Amino acid sequence: MGADPDLVIELNKLTKYYGKSRGIIDVDLSVRRGEVFGFLGPNGAGKSTAIRTILDLIRPTSGWARVNGMDPTKEGANVRRSVGYLPSDFGTYRSMTAKAYLRTLLEMMDHKGPDRINELAGRLDLDLKRRIKDFSRGNRQKIGVISAFMHNPKLVILDEPTTGLDPLMQQEFYRIVMEEKSKGNTVFLSSHILGEVEAICDRVGIIREGRLIMVENMSAFKRKTGKVLNVEFEKKVDPDIFMRLEGVSDIKVGGDNVLIMTVSSHIDGVIKELAKHTVIDLTYDEVSLEDLFLKYYGRENVNHKGNGKGVLP
């Protein structure tokens, strides 16, 4: 278990069972300093279990983890002090003001240096003087985001960080994450939203039913996701015309004059072909996470011997 100083998170066959119930199984993963890593999976896949085990909030059944060069089972307090952490279900003291609560957290961390509370509150449009009990769900989430970044940690671990944030605040959150990357810091975030990890992550790992089934660079991952185009034409159009185009797959006929297709690349060719026809309406959406699993990572592709390693090439 020799430590590589460039690896801030290392997991080796990390496994957690709750009695006979599955948590995570044989998770192997390496996250390098300075990258934004997306941990993607549906609710109940094991994302939160993995994060809590990494931080020694729960103990593994088997396997091991290393965070910032430390063994969490031996140095759990130091590990937690060295990271910024936002749990998916964080609690607050609702009678306190936001500022008093955040200051209390800093004191509990024994943080002595400068902090970013006022800066981040300004960027996220959070009134620090209001009591937490008066906040909406979205504003309480902002408190959690601030708590993760406020003490300038080199590693930030975020569990479903944008839950409850409106689109404008989500964009500001993405900017904060990218600024951390530009400083050489590491962000590890879990999500069940494809568009979120595509927007900000360098690599993505997919966890399903407790097993890490793949890790890919974002460029390769985007080629597998794509967009779903729903096109209504003035007249019936032969779907084979589009099926022959590069980057197009999964064409379905949605009605007499409607085609539904997944476009993962070469959108320019699709647009040029569409221009040859009279289009009445066109909408697009992200490929759903479940559709992605069924297409690329179905049950038959999950290696139940833990072969989906997240080691760096």
Q: Residue 257 is part of a domain; what is its CATH number?
A: 3.30.70
Q: Are residues 14 and 112 in the same domain?
A: yes
Distance of CA 247 to the CA centre of its chain: 25
Contact 198, 225 (CB under 8 A): yes
Higher pLDDT, 221 or 23: 23
Q: Provide, rounded to the nearest whole percent, the portion of the chain with pLDDT above 90.
A: 70
Higher pLDDT, 309 or 286: 286
Q: Provide, rounded to the nearest whole percent, the portion of the chain with pLDDT above 70.
A: 91
Looking at residue 272, its pLDDT comes to 94
Looking at residue 5, its pLDDT comes to 79
Nearest-angstrom CA–CA distance, 308 and 313: 13
- The CATH number assigned to the domain holding 183 equals 3.40.50.300
Structural domain of 253: 227-286
Residue 291 resides in a domain = no
In terms of Cβ atoms closer than 10 Å to its own Cβ (0-12, 13-18, 19+), residue 149 is buried
Q: Are residues 36 and 110 in the same domain?
A: yes
First to last CA, the chain: 18
Range from 68-72, 74-78, 175-179, 251-255 carrying the lowest mean pLDDT: 251-255
Q: What is the mean pLDDT of residues 252-281?
A: 90
Nearest-angstrom CA–CA distance, 144 and 51: 16
Give yes or no for residue 274 having a pLDDT over 60. Answer: yes
* Residue 227's pLDDT band (cuts 50, 70, 90): confident
Taking the model in full, what pTM does it have?
A: 0.81
Residue 253 resides in a domain = yes
Give yes or no for residue 276 having a pLDDT over 50. Answer: yes
In sequence order, which residues have a C-beta less than 8 Å from that of residue 74 and are 6 or more positions away? none
* Residue 309's pLDDT band (cuts 50, 70, 90): very low
Give yes or no for residue 313 having a pLDDT over 50. Answer: no
Q: Are residues 123 and 96 in the same domain?
A: yes
Q: Are residues 35 and 153 in the same domain?
A: yes
Nearest-angstrom CA–CA distance, 194 and 289: 6
Nearest-angstrom CA–CA distance, 172 and 185: 18
Q: Are residues 217 and 243 in the same domain?
A: no
Looking at residue 150, its pLDDT comes to 97
Q: Are residues 166 and 37 in the same domain?
A: yes
Nearest-angstrom CA–CA distance, 231 and 266: 17
- How crowded is residue 63: how many other Cβ atoms within 10 Å of its Cβ? 18
Give yes or no for residue 17 having a pLDDT over 80. Answer: yes
Number of domains present in the structure of the chain:
2
- Residue 261 carries which side chain, given as an amino acid letter? M
Nearest-angstrom CA–CA distance, 237 and 105: 61
Q: Is 248 left (phi over 0), alpha (psi -120 to 50) or beta?
A: beta
Q: Are residues 179 and 249 in the same domain?
A: no
Q: Are residues 152 and 238 in the same domain?
A: no
Instruction: Choose among 195, 135, 183, 197: nearest CA to 155.
Output: 183
Q: What is the CA radius of gyration of the chain?
A: 22
Residue 308 resides in a domain = no
